[in-house]
Amino acid sequence: MKHINHWFVRTYSGLAMALGLCASPYAAPLPEAASVHQYTLKNGMTLIVRPDHRAPTAVHMLWVRVGSMDEVDGTSGVAHVLEHMLFKGTPTVKAGEFSRRVAALGGRENAFTSKDYTGFYQQIPATRLQDVMQLEADRFAHNQWSDADFKKELEVVKEERRLRTEDNPHALLGEALSAVAYTASPYRRPIVGWMSDLEAMTPDDARAFYQRWYTPANSAVVVAGDVEPQAVLALAEKYYGSIPARALPERKPRVEPEQSGMRRLDFKAPAEQASVTLAFKTPRFAPAALDSEADTESNDALALTVLAAVLSGYDNARLDRALTQADGHVADSAGAYCGLGGRGPAMCMLYGVPSAGKTAAQVEAALRAQVALLAKDGVQATELQRVKNQWVASEVYKQDSVFNQARILGANWASGMPTDADEKLIARLRAVTAEQVQAVAAKYFGDDALTVATLLPQPLDKTRKPRAAPAGLRH
C-alpha cells in the first residue's frame, strides 16, 4: 500500500501541501445547500457524511488515527505492514477477495499509511455503498491471517522499501534527515520502517498493533457523494455500530526537546546530482487555535505557511526567479514547504538541486539569502494577494473531486480538526499580513533549530538493472 512522505514534494501552495488540497481547472462548486454531517456511533466510532449529488458516485473511507508515530523502537514499519495485512482476509472473506469484490462492483480501492494515520478507501457507484461498508466493517473487526501469509507479505513490504527508498537517493536523504533532526519525536522513524526492524518483525507484532489501535473510538468512517446522511447513518449503525467498543490506550506525549545548535548531515548515495535540504524546527498549528487568535505560535505557523507560498507556491515565485531562472542560475530546481497541521512537530523546509558547475553550498547560501531578503524587505502586496487568491480558488476547485472531499474530511478528523477546518484556515490565512510574514522570516530561520542535509553523489552502477515492482504492490 502507499506510505506518504513529503520531503521533496514541490508545493502547489503552502496550504495545498499542509491540507492536501488539489485543484482542477474544470471544477464546479458544490451547491450551497451541501453540508457536512457528523455523528458518533454507540461504540464511539465517528461517522462523517458529505452529500454531493452531482454524479451517481460515492467514496467510502475508513480512517484510523494511528500511523508510524505510534510505533515503538524495534517495530518501525508495523503500521504500514498492518495496512497490507488488512487485505489478507477475514473468516468470511478470503485473501484477495476484498479487492475482487470491489472491482466487480465497478469500484476502485486502495489504502495509505502516514506518520499520523492509516486510511482505506473505495470509490464506487453510490448504489453499491452498502456492499463496501459491509466489507470494510468486516475486515476492520475480524481481520485475520496466517503466519505464512504474514511472512509472504512482509517480503513484499521489504521489496517496496528497496524499490522506493533504498533505490531513491532523495528518499534516503529525507529518511536520514528525519533521524538526525528529531531526537525524541517518533517522526524520526521512516513510515516504511527500518530494514532491520522489518527483518525482525513477527506476525504477533502486527496482531498486537491491530488489537491495540484498531478500535471504534480511534476510527472514523467518511462518506462523500450521491448519498443521503440519514441513510448512511443507518448503514453505519448496522455494519459498524455492532463492533464492540474497546478502551483506547493512553498516548504518551514524547515531546521533542528544543534544539540548541545546527546539525549537519552529509549523505553519500549513488546519484547524478547533489541536493541540499534545510529543515528548520517551527511551531505547528494547534486545532484549538482555529477559533481564536490568542495562540501566538499557531499564528506564526499560519504566517510561515504564507511565507512558503511566497517563496515557491506558484510558477515564477521567488525561488524560481532567483535560483533557477537568473543568468548563471545556481539551481536546477528549488522549493519551500512549511508544515501546518499534523499530530507531531512541524518543520519548514528549503531545498534545491545545484545546476551544472554549482555546489550544494552555493544553493544553501542562495536559499538562506532569499529568506533573509524577506526578513529585511518584507513581502510585496501583489505576492501576498496572489497566494491568497490561489488558496481561495483551491477551495472551490477541490470540490470537483468527491474523493478529495472525503480525504480532506478524514485528514482533518485524524489531526483533531473539525469538519470545517479548511474553510476556517482559509479565512485565517487570508488575514495574515505582510508584517507577520516578515516577522516569522526573521524569527525562525536561524542556525539553532536548523538541520542541513546534503546529498553527496556517488558513481552510478550502470550495469545494475532497474528493480521491478514486487508482486502484490498495489500502488
SS3 content of the chain, % helix, strand, coil (to 5): 45, 15, 40
Per residue in 418-455, is it b (16+ CB within 10 Å) or e — as a string? bbebbeebbebbeebebebbbbbbeebbeeebbbbbbb
Measured CA to CA, the distance from residue 464 to residue 460 in angstroms comes to: 9
Distances (CA, A) of 391 to 20, 337, 342, 388: 12, 15, 19, 5
Per residue in 189-216, is it b (16+ CB within 10 Å) or e — as a string? bbbbbbbebbeebebebbbebbeebbbb
Strand ranges of the sheet holding 57-64, from the earlier edge strand across to the other edge: 2-3, 108-113, 118-125, 57-64, 219-225, 46-51, 37-40
Kind of pairing, strands 450-458 and 263-270?
parallel
Strand ranges of the sheet holding 450-458, from the earlier edge strand across to the other edge: 263-270, 450-458, 275-282, 346-354, 331-338
Q: What are the residues whose beta carbons fall under 8 Å from the beta carbon of 244, sequence distance 6 or more?
A: 43, 216
Write a three-state SS string for 78-108. Answer: HHHHHHHHCCCCCCCCCCCHHHHHHHHCCCE
95 burial (CB, 10 Å; 0-12 / 13-18 / 19+) is middle
Are 401 and 24 in contact, with CB atoms under 8 Å apart? yes
C-alpha cell at 370: 532569499
Q: Render 412-450 in DSSP notation, one character per residue.
A: HHHTT--TTHHHHHHHHHHT--HHHHHHHHHHS-SSTTE
Cα angle at 177 between 172 and 181, to 5 degrees?
A: 160
56: DSSP letter = S
384: DSSP letter = H
Measured CA to CA, the distance from residue 306 to residue 283 in angstroms comes to: 14
Handedness of CA 365, 367, 370, 375 (dihedral sign): negative
C-alpha cell at 246: 474497546
Active site residues: 83
Measured CA to CA, the distance from residue 385 to residue 249 in angstroms comes to: 45
